[in-house]
Amino acid sequence: MADAHVLQSAFVYLTATVVSVPIAKRIGLGSVLGYLIAGAVIGPYVLNLVGDPENMMHTAEFGVVIMLFLIGLELQPSLLWRLRIAILGMGGLQVVATATAITGLGIAIGLKWQVAFAIGLTLSLSSTAIVLQSLREKGIAGTQAGRASFSVLLFQDIAIIPMLALFPLLATFALDGNQVGAKGALAAYPNWVQGLAVVLAVGAIVVAGRLLLRPMFRWVATSGMHEILTAFALLLVVGVALLMQLVGISPALGAFVAGVVLADSEFRHQIESDIDPFRGLLLGLFFISVGAGINFALLLAKPLLILGLVAALIVVKAMVMFGVARIFRHKFGDAALIGLGLAQGGEFAFVLFAFAQGVGVIPASVSAPLILVVALSMALTPLLLIAGDWAMTHVEAGTHEPRVPEIEEGHPDIIVAGYGRFGQIVGRMLSAYGYKISVLEHDADQVDVLRGFGRKVNFGDATRLDLLRLAGAHDAKLLIIAIDQDEKALELVETARQAFPNLKILARAIDRRHAFQLMAKKVDGLERETFAAAVRLGVKSLMMMGKSAFAAERAGQIFTRYDERVLKLMFEDWQRVEFADYQRIVRDRTALEEELLKRDMVALLGKSDGDEWGEETLEREAFERALAAKAKSD
Amino acid sequence: MLDTILILFAHPSYARSRANRALRTVAESMEQVTLHDLYEAYPNFLIDVEAEQDLLVTHDHIVMMHPFFWYSAPSLVKEWLDVVLDYGWAYGEGGKALAGKTWTQAITTGGPATSYCSDGRNRFSMDELLRPFQATALLCHCVWQPPFVFHASRQASEQTLEEAATRFCDRLKGLTHG
């Protein structure tokens, strides 16, 4: 019967997920909100389809553990070192300032200072799970704002340890009977034993990670069975989590440390891809449990109090974080995003509230509404992030674009649109030759990075006519389109052709189809972005196979000439005929041209097989060796 | 210490030249010889002038080894002469970097020795046809050596190849012993 129950729960959870997450994503709310809504719907206060969400929560918290393990895995120690100022400075200041503000408010409404302080510390934490998942989904995890958010979250996760140590000292009421503790199995021992255990456990992870894990992984890998590797990776995370729980550290933090230790091992990518699916599903489960745990009864009983507290929490946390981010010189829009993004309470608040109650700091009457407030604030996060994202892009636009005319007021010879990996190479080459170039880049972060390196880069969308004009398109001779979005590039060709008929246009083509589209718009020249590099690698390959450098070089040139000729012929076909016919024609044409190419290549390099190692060759080599030996002995 | 020899080797399809392989193999087996394969080093014809000049000054004897394409050398040799032998370095005012080094052309030809005379198919003697190289060497203050020539190299029997290799080896040894 128990099996039937598990299957039933699984069915409900999965159905809720499959229905609500795609809907939430499609209307732009992100998967996290989808999970939360699904949880609320199936939870005890709406449909009541699942039992106690607390139980599910415990399983689901493992999703958070896996997530932190994967985060650790992606973090090389060097990156951690580079982020140290953000982690310690921003994170530290945020926790202290937020805790102080909330403690102050608590005392103001008449709580004991100990209670207020414990609440302040607990609520200073934000939700690593929700924020990171949302940032990743929105594609802003790698931006400066994303990095900063991550750093603060990391500090908060570490700060849980001293908080757990501090709470017992704040006890305000006597405990009746047995102590509830998140402190783990060693809670009965004196503090120094516990401290030692933590040090030993972390040390063990570091040492084992360096010395034992590689041989073990190799040994497991020799079984040749993929699922065993997956099982081993999971075992690793579960084991670390258990060990950490035993010594009283949050399992999530322990998993994070283990991840960092393994970050420079050769199995990193293997582990990552093996357990990533578990992360996604379990995190989803976690979000669902949070949603299901929202106590709507309490909300309905005291709606004004609860909603007021939610609003207060979000406002206080957002303002403090915004201020901290500004102190650390983040741009206005970025700071707004970081502030709004980290304004919710965190999943560790549930743990800490339970713990605080257990050690006699916060009475249940106080923590129950607060737990609800945290859950609601978490549910609001995706909406806050949408607002933050909007603030970042729009406030940015407002502060950046007027700078365009200030920077490039000269008259450039050449305009480079798009200054990513491609545009930079062209730009560097041309400025090295002494041409004055003006650069337009639409990615604000990229612009800042480049400016940091001392490059002059204008921020702005090159497809906008007014910006092109400001950049000097009216008297430039050449426009180089190096942006990586194919549609935008085509749009830009059209705009520039119409407005500046004398401007020559060269373009980066993403692929063959894009090349045809650009040719149809009559650009003055184009280069396929991967073609030249691939030919170069082909040349290197021929040399590795023993061909002379000169023959290999020639082969690359012949191949390039062949391919460019074919491209031109195909373009004519492409313009002339329907797609189905085009495919057939290309097939025939390619077959013919490949024959010609083969003939040329063989003429240059000889046949691919038998040439170097034929009988004749071997005889000749033996003869030459004999000659050389004879010359030496003379 | 023995004198050192720099062989500037130029053959665009060296893998198929039996004669050049044979000559090159014996030359490479000699300790005092540095064999520098130009087509291998500069397949795109972008010659590193400084590196080439360094090689030249650190050797006592220069040997240019190549097939006799169109009464001259493969095109990379011409490019090499154009960019490496700088004014003020190899010739002209203060251009004495190569002064006193010997200069030898080591050449393989398709035609037999008899075709290189006023009555032969090629109308001129090897000495006459090599005048541009001789003039170049002299302008660079080098000591011009009689060329090493391996005629009719394509049809050569193994025995002829072996003889030619020995002869080339002796020429190189002769250079180092003055």
What are the tokens at A59? 């399983």
CB A325 within 8 A of CB A90: yes
Give Cβ neighbours of residue A148 (< 8 Å, ≥ 6 apart): A86, A90, A325, A328, A330, A334, A338
User: Alpha carbon A620 to chain centroid distance?
Assistant: 59
User: Alpha carbon A407 to chain centroid distance?
Assistant: 32
Residue B72 has a CB neighbour count (10 Å cut-off) of: 15
Q: Which residue has the tokens 């030459």?
A: A624
The beta-carbon neighbor of A553 closest among B18, B30, B43 is B43
pLDDT band at A543 (very low <50, low <70, confident <90, very high): very high
CATH of A2-178+186-398, one of 1.25.40.10, 1.20.1530.20, 1.10.1510.10, 3.20.20.80: 1.20.1530.20
What are the tokens at B178? 């003055």
Q: What pLDDT, on a 0 to 100 scale, did the predictor assign at position A351?
A: 73
Question: Residue B22 and residue B11: Cα distance in Å, rounded?
Answer: 13
Phi, psi of B36 (to 5 degrees): -115, 110
Q: What pLDDT, on a 0 to 100 scale, did the predictor assign at position A444?
A: 72
Q: What pLDDT, on a 0 to 100 scale, did the predictor assign at position A402?
A: 41
Structure confidence by residue, pLDDT tens digits, A412-426: 899 999 988 899 999
Structure confidence by residue, pLDDT tens digits, A190-226: 667 767 777 788 788 778 877 787 788 778 777 777 7
Higher-pLDDT residue of B11, A329: B11
Higher-pLDDT residue of A65, A309: A309
* Percent of chain B as helix, strand, coil, to the nearest 5: 40, 20, 40
- Looking at the predicted structure, is the pLDDT value of residue A540 above 70? yes
Higher-pLDDT residue of A463, A123: A123
Of A60-74, A421-435, A527-541, the least confident = A60-74
User: Alpha carbon A67 to chain centroid distance?
Assistant: 12
What residues in A contact B15, CB-CB < 8 Å?
548, 551, 606, 612
Residue of B nearest to A605 (CA): B13
Q: Using alpha carbons only, how large is chain A's radius of gyration in Å?
A: 32
Over residues A50-69, the mean pLDDT reads: 70
Cβ contact, residue pair B26, A627, below 8 Å: yes
- Looking at the predicted structure, is the pLDDT value of residue B42 above 70? yes
- What is the complex's ipTM, to 2 decimals? 0.85
Q: Where in chain A is the domain with CATH 1.20.1530.20?
A: 2-178+186-398
Is the alpha carbon torsion for A24, A27, A29, A31 positive or negative? positive
Cβ contact, residue pair B22, A551, below 8 Å: no
What are the tokens at A82? 């580079």
The string of DSSP letters for A222-277 reads: TT--HHHHHHHHHHHHHHHHHHHHHHTS-HHHHHHHHHHHHTTSTTHHHHHHHHHH
* Homologous superfamily (CATH) for A410-528: NAD(P)-binding Rossmann-like Domain (3.40.50.720)
Q: Quick one: what percent of chain A has pLDDT higher than 90?
A: 20
Over residues B43-67, the mean pLDDT reads: 96
Residue of A nearest to B13 (CA): A551
CB A279 within 8 A of CB A259: no
Nearest by Cα to A32 from A377, A528, A271, A325: A377
CB A337 within 8 A of CB A388: yes
Q: Which of B24, B37, B168, B169 is best to mutate for the A interface (most A CBs within 10 A)?
A: B169
* Burial class, B151, CB count within 10 angstroms (exposed 0-12 / middle 13-18 / buried 19+): buried
Instruction: Identify which of A365-369, A446-450, B59-63 has the greatest average pLDDT.
Output: B59-63
| pLDDT mean across residues, chain A | 80
Q: What pLDDT, on a 0 to 100 scale, did the predictor assign at position B129?
A: 96
Is the pTM higher than 0.90? The answer reads no
pLDDT band at A1 (very low <50, low <70, confident <90, very high): very low
Higher-pLDDT residue of A301, A607: A301
Instruction: Identify which of A150-159, A565-574, B33-42, B109-118 has the greatest average pLDDT.
Output: B33-42
Cα separations (Å) of A538 from A511, A544, A545, B44?
Answer: 18, 10, 11, 15
Q: Where in chain A is the domain with CATH 3.40.50.720?
A: 410-528
Q: Which of B5, B11, B21, B176 is best to mutate for the A interface (most A CBs within 10 A)?
A: B21
Question: Residue A505 and residue A507: Cα distance in Å, rounded?
Answer: 7
